């Protein structure tokens, strides 16, 4: 047996103690504060040795506190909201305040079966903005066109039958109305100012694309003051075209079902009525158009009061010049001094144009689909707006009223003349567009 001296035993004991302390420090049971004394955490660990009989009989484990505001920490609302950027907060605020002011519009239309019986079927659908606490809704004319019945769906799932109060075909706008139950407070979309829009400004669209109710999309104003032609067929199959002026172009996603819904600025104010998209596929490709709210504010009061917009008219039957017609006139000794303009086929006897000295044609010509007179005056502008097509004539008169006076520039032969004409009422003149 090997014998050890007392000094050797003391040295071995000291080494063992140092090794034990080093191991304890390495695995976290012993920590030292700045003064070199064991920390309170280390003392707690020593008070409940690994595998010992602590209060729970389990090992002492140090758990760091979760950061303030993190999941499971019970952080305040303001701390949770800090997760969103300022732009996101703005989008969320606009949506939460105003989405209930956007309605889902569905329609029924009458179709006739083989036995000439009228059969109701599902018609067009779209969106609309509640603009009055009494239940008035602003939407597109094409959403409610030919509707036998119109229904409005609210955010709470309730559905009401509505009636068409008035339409404005020249701006593709319509006002409908439903009767909300007594005591129900409707969310009204406030009007903004579309004249203050700038390219690059953020806009938000709320609507019901493909039946997905109250969908929010965002984008920017891509262009302003766009003239956009819109064509549609009537019951006879004839196609008419109107040019809607000053439209807002946006890249906010607009799809079928968004028509009639609001285009909002960052403050949640209505700046446009989403109307159409340019798309080779039928879906959104980032080119959408909205009627400016300035137009809506101008025509909506008349729609609510009279059901239509009273506009001025020149009492003529116009025919737009086209190349074959220009060639025909030249070959028959009545050459036109211009290649583009509106030929006055007829000037209504004792009408405003006739009284101003404007003359209609005298020689009748026929085409495959129509007949008219040539030899009359050729109008090239109305109130400074070029009139090379009937659509442009409507544009020139869109913001006029019966009784207003307009300046007409026209040619008679090679002589350029002007005349002042006091406008008649377009509807009373039998002109429906």
pLDDT tens sequence across 167-211: 999 999 999 999 999 989 999 999 999 999 999 999 999 999 888
Place of tokens 């569905």: 106
* Contact between residue 414 and residue 302 where contact means Cβ atoms under 8 Å apart: no
- pLDDT over 50 (residue 59): no
- Tell me the average pLDDT across 46-75: 39
Q: What is the pLDDT of residues 118-174, one digit of tens each?
A: 888 888 899 999 999 999 999 999 999 999 999 999 999 999 999 999 999 999 999
Helix (H, G, I), strand (E, B) or coil at 121: strand
Query: Which domains can be identified in the chain, with CATH numbers?
Result: 6-47 (no CATH), 99-178 (2.40.10.10), 194-306 (2.40.10.10), 312-425 (2.30.42.10)
Residues contacting 385, CB < 8 A, separation 6+: 392, 395, 396
Residue 12 has pLDDT above 80, yes or no: no
CB 273 within 8 A of CB 260: yes
pLDDT of residue 23: 54
Q: Yes or no: say if 199 and 225 are a contact pair by the CB < 8 Å rule.
A: no
Q: Is the pLDDT of residue 68 over 60?
A: no
Averaged over 263-271, what is the pLDDT?
97
CA distance 275 to 257: 10
Does pLDDT of 64 surpass 60? no
Band the pLDDT of 214: cuts 50, 70, 90. confident
pLDDT in the model for residue 25: 55
Lowest mean pLDDT among 28-37, 109-118, 194-203, 245-254: 28-37
> CA 302: distance to chain centroid?
23
Residue 417 host element (H or E): strand 415-422
Average pLDDT over residues 382-398: 93
What per-residue confidence (pLDDT) applies to 283? 62
Sign of CA dihedral 349, 352, 358, 363: negative
Q: Give me the count of residues in the chain.
A: 433
Q: Half-sphere exposure of residue 127, counting CA atoms within 13 Å on the CB side? A: 34
- E strands present in 278-328: 288-292, 312-313, 316-320
**Average pLDDT, integer, range 208-234:** 88
For Cα atoms 337, 338, 344, give the angle at the middle one, nearest 5 degrees: 85
- E strand map for 63-190: 102-112, 118-130, 136-139, 149-153, 159-168, 173-178
306 contact partners, CB below 8 Å, separation of at least 6? 166
- Position 67 scores a pLDDT of 44
Residue 287 DSSP class: -
Mean pLDDT of the chain: 83
| Model confidence pLDDT, tens digit, residues 308-358 | 999 999 999 999 999 999 999 999 888 899 999 999 999 999 999 999 999
pLDDT at 49 > cutoff 70: no
208 neighbors 202 (Cβ within 8 angstroms) = no
What confidence score (pLDDT) does residue 14 get? 56
pLDDT at 302: 96
* DSSP class per residue in 15-39: HHHHHHHHHHHHTTS--B-TTSSBP
* Closest to 318 in 3D by CA, of 393, 236, 231, 415: 393
pLDDT score of 255 more than 90: no
Nearest to 391 by CA among 237, 235, 169, 174: 169
Does the pLDDT at position 257 exceed 80?
Answer: yes
List the catalytic residues.
142, 172, 259
Q: How many CB atoms lie within 10 A of CB 31?
A: 15
403's tokens: 């009784």
Phi, psi of 77 (to 5 degrees): -60, -40
């Amino acid at each position: 047996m090997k014998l050890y001296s007392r000094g050797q035993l003391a040295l071995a004991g000291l080494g063992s103690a140092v090794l034990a302390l080093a191991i304890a420090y390495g695995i976290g049971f012993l920590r030292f504060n700045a003064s070199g004394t064991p920390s309170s955490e280390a003392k707690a660990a020593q008070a409940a040795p690994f595998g010992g009989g602590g209060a729970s009989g389990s090992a002492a484990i140090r758990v760091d506190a979760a950061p303030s505001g993190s999941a499971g920490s019970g952080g305040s609302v303001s701390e949770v909201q800090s997760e969103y950027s300022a732009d996101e907060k703005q989008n969320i605020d606009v949506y939460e305040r105003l989405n209930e002011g956007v309605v889902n519009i569905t329609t029924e239309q009458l179709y006739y079966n083989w036995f000439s019986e009228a059969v109701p079927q599902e018609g067009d659908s779209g969106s609309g903005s509640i603009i009055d606490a009494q239940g008035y809704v602003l939407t597109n004319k094409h959403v409610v066109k030919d509707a036998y019945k119109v229904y409005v769906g609210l955010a709470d799932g309730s559905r009401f039958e509505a009636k068409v109060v008035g339409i404005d075909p020249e701006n593709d706008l319509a006002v409908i109305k439903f009767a909300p139950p007594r005591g129900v407070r409707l969310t009204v979309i406030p009007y903004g100012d579309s004249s203050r829009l700038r390219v690059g400004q953020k806009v938000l669209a709320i609507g019901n694309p493909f039946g997905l109710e109250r969908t929010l999309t965002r984008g920017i104003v891509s262009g302003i003051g766009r003239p956009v032609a819109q064509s549609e067929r009537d019951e006879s199959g004839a196609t008419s075209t109107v040019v809607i002026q000053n439209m807002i172009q946006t890249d906010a996603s607009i799809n079928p079902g968004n028509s009639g819904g609001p285009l909002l600025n960052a403050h949640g104010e209505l700046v446009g009525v989403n109307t159409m998209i340019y798309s080779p596929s039928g879906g959104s490709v980032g080119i959408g158009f909205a009627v400016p709210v300035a137009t809506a504010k101008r025509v909506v009061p008349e729609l609510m009061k009279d059901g239509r917009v009273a506009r001025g008219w020149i009492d003529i039957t116009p025919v737009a010049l086209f190349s074959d017609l220009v060639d025909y006139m030249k070959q028959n000794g009545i050459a036109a001094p211009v290649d583009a303009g509106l030929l006055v086929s007829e000037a209504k006897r004792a009408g405003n144009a006739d009284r101003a000295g404007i003359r209609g044609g005298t020689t009748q010509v026929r085409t495959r689909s129509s007949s008219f007179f040539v030899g009359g005056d050729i109008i090239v502008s109305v109130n400074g707006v070029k009139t090379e097509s009937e659509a442009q004539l409507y544009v020139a008169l869109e913001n006029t009223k019966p009784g207003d006076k307009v300046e007409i520039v026209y040619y008679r032969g090679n002589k350029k003349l002007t005349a002042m004409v006091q406008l008649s009422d377009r509807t009373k003149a039998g002109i429906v567009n």
